[in-house]
């Protein structure tokens, strides 16, 4: 005010974190050193967990068990598994390119409409600093896509209807692109890898680019795993 500068419109304030239900204390030595945690799990995973586990601004409790649980359930078995099974199947059975889209069925429309509505939902949550709500909305789409691929079963369609198989795969890569674009603020390094595997150019990775469909027939790089499943070593 003294310098005549405009005052901030928002002030960011996080809550307090406890560890395994206990207040962090130097005397008890139960504080969390983030650097070894990042070295072990990766920066994207730790950032995701902190923003997913507790509403921003609220107090929260950190536990290694909860970190591993979310890593395995939502990253390795969630977005990681969906991307791997889709892109690996395309590489092996659909020529390693963005599959051609045929006539859409009702299930396709439902999933694509859910993906189309997601950017505004995420934008609204981010404007309110409700990061956990943004992630929750994204994971609703991931779970819906998991159910879609299980129900549509492209591995069965490969033997009976390759045209329908390609359409299902096109819908899946389209949904994966939406998810990857929206997850960039939370997991920039990993989503850069996923967008690369989807063949999305660096200049086409923002909200506005989602209005342009993926180019059918565009080559896709060889897929690679995004999130390894973490197995805690047994105590001796």
What are the pLDDT digits (tens) for 63-108? 889 999 999 999 999 999 999 999 999 999 999 999 999 999 999 9
39 falls within a domain:
no
The per-residue pLDDT for 236 is 45
Alpha-helical regions (H) of the chain:
34-41, 43-53, 64-70, 81-93, 106-127, 131-152, 154-160, 162-182, 188-197
197 falls within a domain:
yes
Q: How far apart are the first and last CA of the chain?
A: 60
The per-residue pLDDT for 13 is 80
Report the predicted TM-score, pTM, of the whole model to 2 decimal places: 0.90
Mean pLDDT by 10 residues, the chain (236 residues): 90 80 74 87 95 85 90 96 98 97 97 98 94 97 98 97 98 98 97 97 95 95 93 61
The per-residue pLDDT for 143 is 98
The per-residue pLDDT for 216 is 96
The per-residue pLDDT for 15 is 80
Q: What is the CATH number for 86? A: 1.10.730.10
Q: What burial class does residue 118 get, using C-beta atoms within 10 Å of its C-beta: 0-12 exposed, 13-18 middle, 19+ buried?
A: buried
45 falls within a domain:
no
Return the closest-CA partner of residue 198 out of 97, 109, 82.
97
152 falls within a domain:
yes
Structural domain containing residue 133: 65-211
The per-residue pLDDT for 234 is 58
Domains held by the chain: number:
1
232 falls within a domain:
no
What are the pLDDT digits (tens) for 135-151? 999 999 999 999 999 99
187 falls within a domain:
yes
Q: Are 143 and 114 in contact (CB under 8 A)?
A: no
173 falls within a domain:
yes
151 falls within a domain:
yes
């Amino acid at each position: 005010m003294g310098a005549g500068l405009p005052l901030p419109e928002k002030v960011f304030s996080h809550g307090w974190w406890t560890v395994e239900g206990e207040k962090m204390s130097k005397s008890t030595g139960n504080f969390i050193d983030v650097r070894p945690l990042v070295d072990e799990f990766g920066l994207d995973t730790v950032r995701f967990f902190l923003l997913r586990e507790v509403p921003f601004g609220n107090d929260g409790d950190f536990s290694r068990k909860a970190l591993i649980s979310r890593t395995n359930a939502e990253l390795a078995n969630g977005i990681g598994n969906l991307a791997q099974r889709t892109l690996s199947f395309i590489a092996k059975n659909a020529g390693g390119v963005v599959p051609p889209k045929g006539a859409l069925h009702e299930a396709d429309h439902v999933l694509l409409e859910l993906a189309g509505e997601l950017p505004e939902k995420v934008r609204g949550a981010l404007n309110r600093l409700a990061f956990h709500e943004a992630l929750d909305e994204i994971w609703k789409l991931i779970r819906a896509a998991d159910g879609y691929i299980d129900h549509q079963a492209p591995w069965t369609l490969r033997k009976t209807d390759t045209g329908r198989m390609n359409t299902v795969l096109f819908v899946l890569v389209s949904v994966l692109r939406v998810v990857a674009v929206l997850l960039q603020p939370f997991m920039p390094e990993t989503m850069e890898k996923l967008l690369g595997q989807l063949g999305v150019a660096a200049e086409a990775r923002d909200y506005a680019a989602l209005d342009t469909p993926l180019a059918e027939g565009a080559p896709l790089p060889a897929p690679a795993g995004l999130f390894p499943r973490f197995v805690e070593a047994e105590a001796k």
